Amino acid sequence: MKRLLLVFLPVLTLYAAHAGSVPPDDGKLRIICFGAHPDDCEIQAGGVGAMWSAKGHHVKLVSVTNGDIGHWRDAGGPLAKRRKAEAEAADQILGVTCEVLDIHDGELLPTLDNRRLITRLIREWKADIVIAPRPNDYHPDHRYTGVLVQDAAYMVTVPFFCPDVPYLKNNPVFLYYPDPFQKPNPFQPDVAVATDSVIQKRLDALDALVSQFYEGGANGYPELLPSDPAKQKERRAKVRGDFEKRYEAQAQRFRAKLAEFYGPDKANSIRYAEAFEICEYGRHPDQQELKKLFPFFGE
Ligand SMILES: [Zn+2]
């Protein structure tokens, strides 16, 4: 008996760690967001992610690469470790689950292996909603994250593709983050959410991504890092202020869509927003289902 237990113990431990990372089937919504780098999901869906999480829904943010060239001074393993720790700290503030895949930054390709990887992650999370960048974003890693999620959008329902992970009987709703790119077609919002109630929390989360914003990431430079504490405070305030302006601009850009969901009076008082476009692949929710998937409009 003892020997049998010893043989099975490693298997049991592995199973427990794996099962622990997937939330229970408790009827709550299950959302998985993909970004190319350990900051993309936090920028694009941190607000609505925190709002879902506050209502007990299950949100996971996945960075498809490890971000190991995303800095002007540091690179490689030490930077990957630092960025993973930063993303974990940010996601803890947002109340969401964090995963950073160990693929080199700047080298993501839409391979069959990566299609399987993304398919498995969506299935394991038993996602109702999957969010990703559009495949015409400026950065190759963003583009291929978009392509990989599109490639998985139908395959998650196909039983004999990756038969090691149970397929999804209900195709999730796939959504895109907003971007400014016009060709071949501009982003068109299908749903817009006021994130005023979580703006401080989402700015705190972005504040935790020090290497990217405070230090400037890949395009930063030494002069961004003042040694004088007063100037450091100024730098932090500037980073926070710039993000605040970004979400204000989004509320302005998506005001008409906010009005559809909140009514025109309420929409005019909304200061910060996030918006998403429904991907043509995956399930197509009508307005009524969108209100169930985004249970925030009566507030
Ligand atoms: Zn990125």
Please give the distance, rounded to the nearest whole angstrom, from the Cα atom of residue 282 to the centre of ligand 1.
Answer: 24
Nearest to 22 by CA among 85, 99, 115: 99
Say whether pLDDT at 181 is over 90: yes
Instruction: Inform me whether the pLDDT recorded for 137 exceeds 90.
Output: yes
pLDDT tens digit sequence for 255-299:
999 999 999 999 999 999 999 999 999 999 999 999 999 999 987
Strand order in the sheet with 173-176: 97-100, 58-63, 30-35, 129-132, 173-176, 273-282, 191-194
Between the CA of 251 and the centroid of ligand 1 the distance, in Å, is 22
- Distance (angstroms) between ligand 1 centre and the Cα of 101 equals 14
Examine residue 180 and say whether the peptide bond preceding it is cis (omega within 30 degrees of 0): no
- Residue carrying structure tokens 């829904």: 57
Ligand 1 centroid to residue 68 C-alpha, Å: 12
Note the pLDDT of residue 14.
Answer: 38
Half-sphere exposure of 263 (CA within 13 A, CB side): 5
Using pLDDT thresholds of 50, 70 and 90, give the confidence band for residue 21.
Answer: confident
pTM (predicted TM-score): 0.93
Asked if 28 contacts 57 with a C-beta cutoff of 8 angstroms, the reply is yes
Residues 226-251, mean pLDDT to the nearest whole number: 96
Q: What is the CA(39)–ligand 1 centre distance, in A?
A: 7
- Ligand 1 centre and the CA of 216: distance in Å? 13
Q: What's the 138 CA to ligand 1 centre distance in angstroms?
A: 9
Would you place residue 1 in the very low, low, confident or very high pLDDT band (cuts 50, 70, 90)? Answer: very low
